[in-house]
Amino acid sequence: MCIENVIGKSDQVENKKILENAYDLLNDTYTKVRNISHAQKSSVLSSHGLIGTLEQLASRINAGKSIQVEVIHHGLHGNLSNSMELGLFRIIQELLNNTIKHAQAQHASIILTGYEDHISVMVEDDGKGFLPDTISNTSTGLESIKARVQHLDGTMEIDTKINRGTTINIEIPLL
């Protein structure tokens, strides 16, 4: 965190203490919010599973009528850990959020395929596409997705063209 850097460079004892307290408070708040969020989503995932939860999400989005989302799955046998399911759900949720906010798409598909050694996730839309080079490194949504994919030791590829939609391919190894 940036606060850690400032703490190390602060010469005044009083300022250093204030920064350390702020850092501790932020860390505490982050941990509490994260735990609440995980508990809330974990209970939905544990009762409905990843596919059921994604289908519920698609139904809620479809009810808004601005975009139609379909969930397609093959070869997933419910043998994913809770943390893997939660990570995948968050990734897909953020990808759909980006699609709704930016793509001006009519349709989106979530395609999950389970293999012996990895899971493939493809989220595609028929939206306006974008130029990947124009997305800044401060783009919170994509950066968050990349971080979550990396946390699961996965890879992500973006295939997009202006007026041709976007396809995001993610591969997550099964450990």
Total domains in the chain come to 1
Q: Count H helices, E strands: the chain? A: 4, 5
- 108 within domain boundaries: yes
- 153 within domain boundaries: yes
pLDDT score, position 147: 94
> 52: which DSSP letter?
H
Domain harbouring 111, CATH code: 3.30.565.10
- 18 within domain boundaries: no
What residues have CB less than 8 Å from 3, skipping those under 6 apart? 19, 22, 23, 26
Per-residue pLDDT of the chain (175 residues; tens, 9 = 90+): 456 555 566 667 777 778 777 777 776 676 656 555 554 555 667 788 999 999 999 999 999 888 999 999 999 877 788 889 999 999 999 999 999 999 999 999 999 999 999 999 999 999 999 887 777 665 678 889 999 999 999 999 999 999 999 999 999 999 7
Residue in this structure with the two tokens 């601005």, named with its chain if needed = 66
- 3 within domain boundaries: no
- 113 within domain boundaries: yes
pLDDT score, position 116: 92
Nearest in space to 110 (alpha carbons), one of 164, 57, 32: 57
- 28 within domain boundaries: no
What is the spatial distance between Cα 55 and Cα 71, in angstroms, rounded to a whole number? Answer: 6
Q: Residue 111: helix, strand or coil by DSSP?
A: strand
- 151 within domain boundaries: yes
Q: Which domain holds residue 56?
A: 49-173
pTM of the full predicted structure? 0.73
pLDDT score, position 69: 98
pLDDT score, position 38: 52
Is 131 in contact with 168 (CB distance < 8 Å)? no
- 140 within domain boundaries: yes
